[in-house]
Amino acid sequence: MGRPKEFDYENVLDAATETFWADGVARTSISSLVESMHIQRSSFYNSFASKERILGLVLERYVKANPLNILINARTEMEAKEPEHAAIDLILDFSYFLSQKGAGRGCLLLNGLSELTVKDGECYEIYQDYYVQLTGGLSVLLERLDREKSSDQGKSKLSLDHMMGILLGMSHYSKLDCTEQRLANMGLDLLSGLSPNFTDALVSEQERVHEDSKELMQA
């Protein structure tokens, strides 16, 4: 019996990512993965064992490249910023990601959270683990907003549902229109509409960008 054909590991994970992203996790089969990855079925099983195993590897790589990673694995970076600016930067970075990387397919992480149910077994559990981490990071950000801004100024509070609704809405809308500016405007409008803190922060941010532009022109 011949040895399974060797392959470039990163390339096949890229192909698997594209397949899960384009077809949806539940509809993706081992046959479609093998076809898109251009490897033998024996190589697939020898290297990845199952659809669930390769999905875990795909999501791990995907999340590291996604701005939502700051809520999951890079909270120190988020906590170094003022909470309003951390939220604004998240919206702007996510808008860019959906526009450039999503390209009309939404977010692979949020797509799966919306698509899968408990009947999907281990695939569902993989996504639920990320959901717990994502909402945990959002909760840290919201607690900072409440502690540092809302409570002492009497301004409206954001809830976890608000923030998840914004991110999910941006992801789903990007399937209709993945223009970066449109997505950014949507996210920021929702933020400023929910809490006056963000209206003040956006004005401050616009003034800073304007001053930076003036300095560059004068240099």
pTM of the model: 0.82
Least confident of 117-131, 143-157, 178-192, 202-216: 202-216
pLDDT at position 78 over 80: no
Cα–Cα distances (Å) from 70 to 65, 93, 136, 184, 219, in that order, read 10, 10, 11, 18, 33
More confident residue, 156 or 89: 89
> What is the per-residue pLDDT for 87?
87
Q: Which of 179, 7, 166, 1 is nearest to 88 (CA)?
A: 166
Q: Which of 10, 12, 26 is nearest to 111 (CA)?
A: 26
> Is residue 190 within 8 Å of residue 170, measured between CB atoms?
no
* Mean pLDDT, residues 39-47: 89
Task: Work out the mean pLDDT of the chain and round it to a whole number.
Answer: 84
Q: Which CATH class is domain 1-59?
A: mainly alpha
203 confidence band (pLDDT: 50, 70, 90): low
Per-domain boundaries in the chain: 1-59, 66-218
Give phi and psi for 75, each to the nearest 5.
-65, -25
Helix and strand totals (H; E) in the chain: 13, 0
| Cβ atoms within 10 Å of 33's Cβ, excluding its own | 23
- Say what percent of the chain tops pLDDT 70: 82
* Mean pLDDT, residues 26-46: 91
pLDDT at position 33 over 50: yes
212 confidence band (pLDDT: 50, 70, 90): very low
C-alpha 155, offset from chain centre: 28
More confident residue, 21 or 147: 21
> What is the per-residue pLDDT for 9?
85
191 confidence band (pLDDT: 50, 70, 90): confident
C-alpha 207, offset from chain centre: 28
> What is the per-residue pLDDT for 55?
96
What are 98-143's pLDDT values in tens digits? 999 998 999 999 999 999 999 999 999 999 999 999 999 999 988 8
CA angle 15, 21, 23 (to 5 degrees): 95
